[in-house]
């Protein structure tokens, strides 16, 4: 069966390189290799479809891209999707140009108008253009921060947000219904249905990002020295143009990582969250005596920042970046002549696995707060729903370094977020407190919140994830690290059960996530990885600030969070009767 599948795929594969790889596997009789490529199908996840390059339905390749695009084209021509045409963009990864060209040709073959970016672009530009051009959909060819051997297909719907159910299932069903890849209609070379995106769209995006900053008498940018890295990605050109126009001209880019390179030669993993990825930009910051470090991931939809402290440079987590920007926006930008919400009610949002701090900040300013499932597509949906209710999203973030400011882009945008961080950093420097001082002030006001996470790989077994979750659900602990557990939220069942026996519904789509809340304000969460045999654990600790010693409280919270995390991991594994790999 595997050999038959491989030969059928190879017969319709338009790429000689992947045809050759398939033939080599067949010639070798490499059953495991064939099974890995032809025995399963990549699925749409929280950020579209991603995978290693290679032949077969379990890899990213030209045949796969044509199948996805044909399914998309079928939906758009048969469903009542608002707008006109599809925006297609791509980054610099291996095969990105070929995948984008195939996407455009298949969509044109379906009779759809296609607007393509002639060169590589950051992901936020495609999300922006999809909405700005009133397109039916947008496609970005990227694997974001995945390893060099990967590529992917990110799909936006009308309005510029990533697809949510049932569209993802419809695309998968459409792909599975394609029996003959050679029968997919293709547009002709020079087709009038395929046009380049007007350069004005990029200029409009830059203007919109610059419009996030209010007019000011202070010398913006002149007082801040920044070390920056695009991590061999596509963000530098757009970010530099925006920062220069905003006045942040003392910007220093890591030279070895400045230009797009699909091999990412200076990092093992091109993700600013990964150990070692920030080493070169931190070294540059030391060398030039910088005030701030900024980093984008390769497609520039994520933002990472590091700040100087009395104990050296500290890389900030997504919760610290997101809540710090939210506090600044709600304190300074929701009233007055240059608001980010206009005349609508401000709305902020984050995910169920992020810190509780944003909810406290929102409550203190009496503004709307939304909590969503993981994945920025759900926060974009919260923005859309809020808009229908007279609200305007002023800040959305996820702990995995994704930030969206003022609904400019209905996806995470590492470029606009970088500008907002730089603006806040300069004002904090001029005020003599710095960003570390702002974090200390927030700890004094709301308590020191620290969220940590860990992944636990498990022994192989079809039911290991379910055993872990079921064991915890059936026998949840009465305390975690000495603090009584007061509630368990079972997102798969859609209910929260309190220690007194009362039950309340969870107003979110079902997902495999369990969250325990403790009496001392701490909480722990566990969910399975969507693609690997592992469980993802999160723990948050909250410590009061005593005697104004915010730094000490933040340190205690970090230690406490790590202790809670390890205790919860041990409890969960014991309940499940499974062991780490």
Topology of the domain covering 206-212+224-315:
Alpha-D-Glucose-1,6-Bisphosphate; Chain A, domain 3 (3.40.120)
**Which residues are registered as beta bridge partners of 89?**
140
Pairwise pLDDT comparison (129 vs 80), residue with the higher score: 129
**Per-residue tokens: 469:** 């979750």
Q: How far apart are the first and last CA of the chain?
A: 32
Location of each CATH 3.40.120.10 domain in the chain: 2-196, 206-212+224-315, 319-443
pLDDT digit string (tens) for 379-429?
A: 999 999 999 999 999 999 999 999 999 989 999 999 999 999 999 999 999
Percentage of the chain with pLDDT > 70? Answer: 96
Catalytically active residues, by annotation: 144
- Based on its alpha-carbon atoms, the radius of gyration of the chain, rounded to whole angstroms, reads 24
Cβ atoms of residues 93 and 50 within 8 Å: no
Cβ atoms of residues 252 and 228 within 8 Å: yes
* Cα 295 to the center of its chain, rounded Å: 14
* Burial grade of 258 (CB within 10 A; 0-12, 13-18, 19 or more): middle
Rounded Cα gap, residues 485 and 524, in angstroms: 10
Residue 463: per-residue pLDDT: 66
Q: Which residues contact 564 (CB under 8 A, 6 or more apart)?
A: 480, 481, 522, 524, 539, 540, 541
Query: Does residue 207 surpass a pLDDT of 50?
Result: yes
Rounded average pLDDT over 479-487: 94
Query: Does residue 461 surpass a pLDDT of 70?
Result: no
Location of each CATH 3.30.310.50 domain in the chain: 448-576
Rounded Cα gap, residues 34 and 181, in angstroms: 19
Residue 530: per-residue pLDDT: 63
Residue 460: per-residue pLDDT: 53
**Per-residue tokens: 181:** 């890849």
Rounded average pLDDT over 531-546: 88
Band (pLDDT 50/70/90 cuts) for residue 378 is very high
Say if domain 2-196 classifies as CATH 3.40.50.1100: no
> Which of 96-105, 165-174, 463-472 has the weakest average pLDDT?
463-472
Mean of the per-residue pLDDT values of the chain: 93
Residue 458: per-residue pLDDT: 66
Residue 581: per-residue pLDDT: 46
Rounded average pLDDT over 185-214: 95
pTM of the model: 0.95
Query: Does residue 218 surpass a pLDDT of 60?
Result: no
* Cα 205 to the center of its chain, rounded Å: 20
Residue 179: per-residue pLDDT: 87
Query: Does residue 457 surpass a pLDDT of 80?
Result: no
pLDDT digit string (tens) for 277-286?
A: 999 999 999 9
Query: Does residue 462 surpass a pLDDT of 70?
Result: no
Cβ atoms of residues 416 and 408 within 8 Å: yes
CA nearest neighbour of 71 among 112, 106, 115: 106
Residue 9: per-residue pLDDT: 93
Location of structure tokens 């003392």 = 250
Residue 335: per-residue pLDDT: 87
Q: Which residues contact 489 (CB under 8 A, 6 or more apart)?
A: 495, 496, 506, 513, 514, 515, 516, 517
Band (pLDDT 50/70/90 cuts) for residue 532 is low
Cβ atoms of residues 386 and 347 within 8 Å: yes
Beta strands in 491-565 (DSSP E): 495-498, 503-505, 514-518, 523-528, 534-543
Domain 448-576 homologous superfamily, CATH:
Alpha-D-phosphohexomutase, C-terminal domain (3.30.310.50)
Rounded Cα gap, residues 287 and 309, in angstroms: 16
For the structural domain made of 319-443, what CATH number should be given? 3.40.120.10
Residue 468: per-residue pLDDT: 78
Query: Does residue 575 surpass a pLDDT of 80?
Result: no
Element (H, E) at 480: strand 479-480
Rounded Cα gap, residues 137 and 114, in angstroms: 10
Rounded average pLDDT over 538-557: 96
Beta strands in 76-134 (DSSP E): 86-90, 114-116
Rounded average pLDDT over 563-577: 87
Phi, psi of 151 (to 5 degrees): -150, 175
CA nearest neighbour of 214 among 452, 507, 379, 423: 423
Rounded Cα gap, residues 391 and 383, in angstroms: 8
Pairwise pLDDT comparison (219 vs 565), residue with the higher score: 565
> Which of 194-203, 457-466, 506-515, 551-560 has the weakest average pLDDT?
457-466
Residue 459: per-residue pLDDT: 62
Query: Does residue 578 surpass a pLDDT of 80?
Result: no
Residue 579: per-residue pLDDT: 53
Band (pLDDT 50/70/90 cuts) for residue 476 is confident
Rounded average pLDDT over 42-54: 84
Residue 365: per-residue pLDDT: 98
Rounded average pLDDT over 170-197: 93
**Per-residue tokens: 573:** 């594994």
**Per-residue tokens: 156:** 């936006």
Percentage of the chain with pLDDT > 90? Answer: 85
Pairwise pLDDT comparison (104 vs 48), residue with the higher score: 104
């Amino acid at each position: 069966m595997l050999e038959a599948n491989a030969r059928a795929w190879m017969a319709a594969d338009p790429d000689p390189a992947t045809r050759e790889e398939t033939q080599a596997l067949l010639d070798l009789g490499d059953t495991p290799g064939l099974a890995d490529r032809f025995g399963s199908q990549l699925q749409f996840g929280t950020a579209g479809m991603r995978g290693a390059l290679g032949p077969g339905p379990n890899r990213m390749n030209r045949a796969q891209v044509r199948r996805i695009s044909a399914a998309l084209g079928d939906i758009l021509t048969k469903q009542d999707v608002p707008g006109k045409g599809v925006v297609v963009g791509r980054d610099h990864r291996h095969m990105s140009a070929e995948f984008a060209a195939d996407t455009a040709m298949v969509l044109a073959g379906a009779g759809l108008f296609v607007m393509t970016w002639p060169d590589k672009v950051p992901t936020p530009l495609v999300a922006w253009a999809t909405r700005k051009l009133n397109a039916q959909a947008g496609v970005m060819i990227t694997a974001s921060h995945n390893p060099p051997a990967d590529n992917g297909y990110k799909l936006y719907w009308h309005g510029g947000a990533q697809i949510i159910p049932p569209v993802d299932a419809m695309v998968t069903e459409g792909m599975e219904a394609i029996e003959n890849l050679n029968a997919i209609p293709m547009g002709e070379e020079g087709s009038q249905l395929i046009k380049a995106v007007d350069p004005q769209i990029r200029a409009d995006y830059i203007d919109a990002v610059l419009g996030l900053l209010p007019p000011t008498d202070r010398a913006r940018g002149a007082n801040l020295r920044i070390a920056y890295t695009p991590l061999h990605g596509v963000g530098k050109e757009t970010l530099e143009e925006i920062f220069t126009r905003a006045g942040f001209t003392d910007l220093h880019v890591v030279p070895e990582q400045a230009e797009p390179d699909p091999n990412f030669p200076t990092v093992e993993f091109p993700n600013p969250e990964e150990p070692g990825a920030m080493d070169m930009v931190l070294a540059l910051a030391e060398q030039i005596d910088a005030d701030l470090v900024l980093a984008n991931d390769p497609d520039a939809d994520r933002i990472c920042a590091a700040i100087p402290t009395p104990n050296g440079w500290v890389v900030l987590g997504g919760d610290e970046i997101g809540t710090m920007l939210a506090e600044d926006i709600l304190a300074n930008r929701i009233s007055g002549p240059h608001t980010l919400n206009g005349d609508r009610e401000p709305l902020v949002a984050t995910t169920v696995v992020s810190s509780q701090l944003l909810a406290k900040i929102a409550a203190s300013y009496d503004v709307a707060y939304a909590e969503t499932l993981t994945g920025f597509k759900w926060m974009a949906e919260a923005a859309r729903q809020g808009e229908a209710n007279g609200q305007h999203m002023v800040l959305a973030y996820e702990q995995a370094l994704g930030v969206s400011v003022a609904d400019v882009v209905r996806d995470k945008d590492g470029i606009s977020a970088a500008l907002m961080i730089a603006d806040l950093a300069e004002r904090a420097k001029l005020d003599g407190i710095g960003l570390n001082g702002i974090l200390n002030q927030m700890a004094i006001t709301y308590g020191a919140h620290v969220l940590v996470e860990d992944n636990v790989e498990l022994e192989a077994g079809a039911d290991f994830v379910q055993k872990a979750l079921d064991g915890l659900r059936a026998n949840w602990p009465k305390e975690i690290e000495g603090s009584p557990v007061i509630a368990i939220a079972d997102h798969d069942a859609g209910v929260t059960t309190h220690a007194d026996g009362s039950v309340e519904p969870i107003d979110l789509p079902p997902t495999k996530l369990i969250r325990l809340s403790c009496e001392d304000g701490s909480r722990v969460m566990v969910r399975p990885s969507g693609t690997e045999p592992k469980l993802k654990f999160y723990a948050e600790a909250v410590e009061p600030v005593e005697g104004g010693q915010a730094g000490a409280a933040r340190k205690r919270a970090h230690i406490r969070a790590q202790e809670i995390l390890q205790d919860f991991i041990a409890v969960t594994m014991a309940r499940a009767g499974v062991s780490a790999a």
